[in-house]
Amino acid sequence: MDVRRRTLFRTAVAGLVVGLAWRRGSGALAAEELKLPENLPVDTFDFETKGIEGWTTVDGQWAVEDMAGAPSGKKVLVQRATKNEFNVIVAPPGPYTDVDVSMKFKPISGREDASGGIVFRFSDGKYYVVRANALEDNFRLYYYDRGRRQLASARVKAPALGQWHTVRVVAVGDRIQAWLDGKPYLDHRDSRFKSGRVGLWTKADSITAFDDLTIRGVTGGG
């Protein structure tokens, strides 16, 4: 095997090992985790003192409700529409280019779907979304542009109904990484959307609660 072929082979193997480690959630790639500058401002939404004034409802029935066992205080944001294809609400801050977002979600019910997700780089109805589903053993990244298209998927233990779970996504340039309940699963590159706002997402008949949305990002774009 000549030098060029050996180099290509080693690069391919290295990429496969990195991908497998992330999909297994081994935590072995801590040094490879995407980082944003430490001095960026942070926006946190726990829905205790302020509701969703200033938010943009794209679709769905979103309202702040009291909920026992909420991660922060007593109030959470709940999506209760059950007949839309997708339900999206977008937070006021931004737009952002690079961003680090986390949120807690509790899938309450759903027979077709029981999901919760983070929307990012939302602009003119186009966006990325990373989501988990209590009815499926996968954790996925999609983009939406007049239709949803899958970009990356990892096999996971389905997040339990009626329990709180954490999703985090970091996007720097064209690279996107995502975690479920603290474990890294997705590491993907896609360059179609450059900047936009951050939001929350459910699908179909999912009734889902959300809390502790935290956004740290580099503002810019449109």
Q: Could you please report the per-residue DSSP string of 148-196? A: EEEEEEEE-PPPPTTS-EEEEEEEETTEEEEEETTEEEEEEE--S---B
pLDDT of residue 18: 42
Task: Characterize the bridge pairing of strands 138-144 and 183-189.
Answer: unpaired
Q: How far is CA 103 from the centre of its chain?
A: 8
Task: Characterize the bridge pairing of strands 96-109 and 207-219.
Answer: antiparallel
Degrees, nearest 5: CA angle 143-115-188: 35
What secondary structure does DSSP assign to 186-201, as a single string? EEEE--S---BEEEEE
For the whole model, what pTM was predicted? 0.86
Degrees, nearest 5: CA angle 120-123-128: 35
Dihedral sign from CA coordinates of 49, 51, 53, 56: positive
pLDDT of residue 58: 98
Cis ω before 95 (30° cut-off from 0): yes
pLDDT of residue 28: 38
pLDDT by 10s per residue, the chain, length 222: 554 455 444 544 444 444 444 444 433 344 489 999 999 999 999 999 889 999 999 999 999 999 999 999 999 999 999 999 999 999 999 999 999 999 999 999 999 999 999 999 999 999 999 999 999 999 999 999 989 999 999 999 999 999 999 999 999 999 999 999 999 999 999 999 999 999 999 999 999 999 999 999 999 876
Least Cα distance to 168 among 183, 189, 190, 149 occurs for 183
Least Cα distance to 156 among 178, 129, 180, 177 occurs for 180
Give the CA diameter of the chain. 66
